Structure 1
Amino acid sequence: MIWVLAFGLITVLSVVAGLKKRKPLFFLVPFGSIFAFMLVKIIMVPLPFMETIRFIFYLKG
């Protein structure tokens, strides 16, 4: 639950900063933070990296 709140706060802050400063780069910050979070979680799996990626993409369901 804390991660949902953290990403929500990052999103709100980046949207406010993007609207105030009129810089579209701020709107990419939430996507970058979620991508970085997913990458860290994948790296934390105790399998080799490519095997983990194959496992994730071959899941059926």
Structure 2
Amino acid sequence: MWMLILFWTLALAAVIGTIRYKKPLLLTVPFFAIIGFVFVQVAMVPMPFWDTLKFIFSMR
């Protein structure tokens, strides 16, 4: 739950920073954060990492 709160705080800070500093590149920060979030969630699965990835991508 704390990661979700951290993500939304980061996203809000990126939007506010984009408006305040007029740097649209700051809007890419939440995208990289969500990729990191997904990586952490996959790493938390109690299976070996590559087996977890094979399982995720073999689902239909």
Identity of aligned residues (%): 35
Give the C-alpha shift of residue 3 in structure 1.
4.6
Residues 1-61 of structure 1 mapped to structure 2, 5 A cutoff: 3-60=3-60
**Amino acid of the residue matched to residue 20 of structure 1?**
R
Deviation at 1:26, TM superposition (A): 1.0
Uncovered stretches (5+) of structure 2, i.e. residues with no partner: none
Q: After the TM superposition, which segments of 4 or more aligned residues of structure 1 sit over 2 Å from their partners? A: 1-9
Q: Any idea what the Cα deviations from partners look like across 1:27-60, whole Å, max 9, x if unmatched?
A: 0111111111110111111211111101001112
How many residues matched?
60
Stretches of structure 1 lacking an aligned partner (at least 5 in a row): none
2-side partners of 1:33 and 1:18: how far apart? 16
Using structure 1 for the length normalisation, give the TM-score. Answer: 0.76
